[in-house]
Amino acid sequence: MKYGVIDVGSNSVRLMLSNGTEVFYKEVITTRLAEGMGSQAILQTEAVDRSAEAVSFFAKKAVKDGADKVMVFATAAVRRAVNSRVFTDKVKESCGLEVDVVSGEKEAFLGVKGALGNKDGVVIDVGGASTEITVVKSGEIVYSKSIYVGAVSLYDTVQNDLSKAEIVLNDKLNEFGDIPFDNNLSALSIGGTATSLSAIDNCVYPYDRNVVHLSLLKTERLYNLRNKLFAMTEEQRENIKEIQKGRGKIIACGCAILHAIAVMLNLCEIIVSESDNLEGYLALYTENL
């Protein structure tokens, strides 16, 4: 049996086609759903239309490619929006799918399930509107928290100002509180920020998930990448061939978040995982059948 799983993130919509053990492919469309939400947390009409259209396109593609069941879930942007029904109703109208709007805790759990399986470790998920850190020890989640700062929302706040980004992150990351992390645990990062930075760091073009998966991002290298990306214009970042079109605008802010977390946890390096909440969502679904 084949499954199509669609993840509606704050910056992009992604599709995974899988049978539960093998991933046949993953595809992504940048729709910037969280763009312009602001402090009032209102989804903008154009962003809603772009994202709903991408969901409908992927739903049809999954069925065409043999999916027996198609599922769609949404994370921080839809979860936080005061007008989230505008988006979920639009998706229902366009392709008949009910959107599962997951909580921050469930989003973190899905990432852990996809990246770690049954292993211990720390999972860092830098999204578009939120960032999650989850710690697993002895097979149990001992810490999990989601905060509302992501690559898109940070960009909306600071634009291309690194000094402002540092000030915002120094404040926002305090919301994580005391994280029960020790150096015996591996730290993995999932999501488009981490995979894009790995592609840049390793000159992976065209993109190859097999090269990116389990690659290492050194904290020192993240610092250098952060400074380099902020020093570039948005046009220059958009022309970085190793990353997906549309991500150049926010990649510097995503890098700033990941670097700040690495420093906060006193990490020398972070492992990049291509397996993430898409795999986690499907695993949870099939376990409950």
Instruction: Find, among 153, 145, 150, 149, the residue nearest to 172 by Cα.
Output: 149
Q: Look at 175 and 118; give whichever has higher pLDDT.
A: 175
pLDDT of residue 175: 97
In a domain, 289, yes or no: no
In a domain, 49, yes or no: yes
Average pLDDT over residues 215-223: 98
State the pTM of this model: 0.91
Distance, CA of 110 to CA of 120 (rounded, Å) = 14
When the pLDDT of each residue in the chain is averaged and rounded to a whole number, the result is 95
Give me the number of domains the chain comprises. Answer: 2
| Residue 89, pLDDT above cutoff 80 | yes
Backbone torsions φ then ψ of 218, nearest 5 degrees: -70, 140
For residues 250 and 152, is the Cβ–Cβ distance under 8 A? Answer: yes
CATH number at residue 211: 3.30.420.150
Do 240 and 123 belong together in one domain?
yes
Do 137 and 15 belong together in one domain?
no
For residues 138 and 121, is the Cβ–Cβ distance under 8 A? Answer: no
pLDDT of residue 156: 92
Which residue range forms the structural domain that includes residue 16? 3-101
Residue with tokens 């993109």: 207
At residue 183 the predicted structure's pLDDT band, cuts being 50, 70 and 90, is: confident
Do 177 and 59 belong together in one domain?
no
Distances (CA, A) of 16 to 133, 247, 266: 23, 19, 33
Do 65 and 111 belong together in one domain?
no
Distance, CA of 79 to CA of 108 (rounded, Å) = 14
For residues 249 and 30, is the Cβ–Cβ distance under 8 A? Answer: no
The count of other CB atoms within 10 Å of the CB of residue 69 is 13
pLDDT digits (tens, 9 = 90+) for 233-285: 999 999 999 998 889 999 999 999 999 999 999 999 999 999 999 999 999 99
Do 200 and 245 belong together in one domain?
yes
Distances (CA, A) of 220 to 108, 183, 185, 266, 273: 26, 17, 19, 11, 19
pLDDT of residue 46: 97
Average pLDDT over residues 16-41: 93
Where is the domain boundary, 73, 101, 129? 101
| Residue 64, pLDDT above cutoff 80 | yes
Do 108 and 146 belong together in one domain?
yes
At residue 182 the predicted structure's pLDDT band, cuts being 50, 70 and 90, is: confident
For residues 25 and 14, is the Cβ–Cβ distance under 8 A? Answer: no
Do 146 and 162 belong together in one domain?
yes
Tokens of 58: 């992927």
Do 200 and 260 belong together in one domain?
yes
Do 127 and 257 belong together in one domain?
yes
Do 16 and 112 belong together in one domain?
no
3-state secondary structure of 84: helix
pLDDT of residue 155: 95
| Residue 134, pLDDT above cutoff 90 | yes
In a domain, 10, yes or no: yes
Do 123 and 77 belong together in one domain?
no
In a domain, 280, yes or no: no
pLDDT of residue 212: 96
pLDDT digits (tens, 9 = 90+) for 111-120: 999 999 889 9
Do 93 and 131 belong together in one domain?
no
Identify residue 47 by its one-letter amino acid code: A
Identify residue 104 by its one-letter amino acid code: G
At residue 38 the predicted structure's pLDDT band, cuts being 50, 70 and 90, is: confident
For residues 251 and 237, is the Cβ–Cβ distance under 8 A? Answer: yes
pLDDT of residue 93: 97
